[in-house]
Amino acid sequence: MSVRVQSQPFDMGQEVQAFSVATRGAGAIVTFSGMVRDEGGTLSRMEIEHYPGMTEKALAKIRAEAMDRWTLTDALIIHRHGALEPGEQIMMVATASRHRKDAFEAAEFLMDYLKSRAPFWKKEFTADGSDWVTSKQDDEDALKRW
């Protein structure tokens, strides 16, 4: 499966291993993983809400666009939802290509689009209560370069 939305943790090592076997001969694999920050020890947990149905559709569309724009052997997106603790992996992307430039660029493209075009909403919990993470103008601006 090239796009996965799940609440349970994933093993990045295993995922990259399986991905590299499946894309054998690609020559270049780029991976990125986003983790829950501990914000200097103040963050107790994070909850990620999503829109079941639309999420899978949006991720598949973003992946298809990357496959279309760069010469890729394959691309993988895994994104979690539900309750996560500091240090846990939230998501990962992997791209495989014959040459590194396509793999790097496509991975950055996937990340930029995941940030503001995939229906996930993060809520942070601290000793003082909880707050929805607000989107940043930088994230919106990042899309303009593609």
Partner 1 sequence: MIDVMYFAWLRERIGKPKEQIDTQARTVEELVEELRTRSEAHALAFSDIASVRVAIDQDLTDMSASLSGAREVAFFPPMTGG
Binding site for partner 1 (CB under 8 A): 34, 49, 51, 53-54, 57-58, 79, 90-91, 111, 114-123, 132-135, 140
Residue 70 or 120: the one with the smaller Cβ distance to partner 1 is 120
In this structure, the number of other CB atoms found within 10 A of the CB of residue 47 comes to 15
Residue 102 or 108: the one with the smaller Cβ distance to partner 1 is 108
Residue 22 or 54: the one with the smaller Cβ distance to partner 1 is 54
Compute the least distance from the CB of residue 21 to partner 1, in Å: 26
Distances (CA, A) of 6 to 50, 81, 89, 133, 139: 10, 6, 12, 20, 24
What does the DSSP 8-state code read for residue 86? T
Helix (H) or strand (E) holding 26: none
Q: Are 84 and 48 in contact (CB under 8 A)?
A: yes
Compute the least distance from the CB of residue 79 to partner 1, in Å: 7
Compute the least distance from the CB of residue 57 to partner 1, in Å: 5
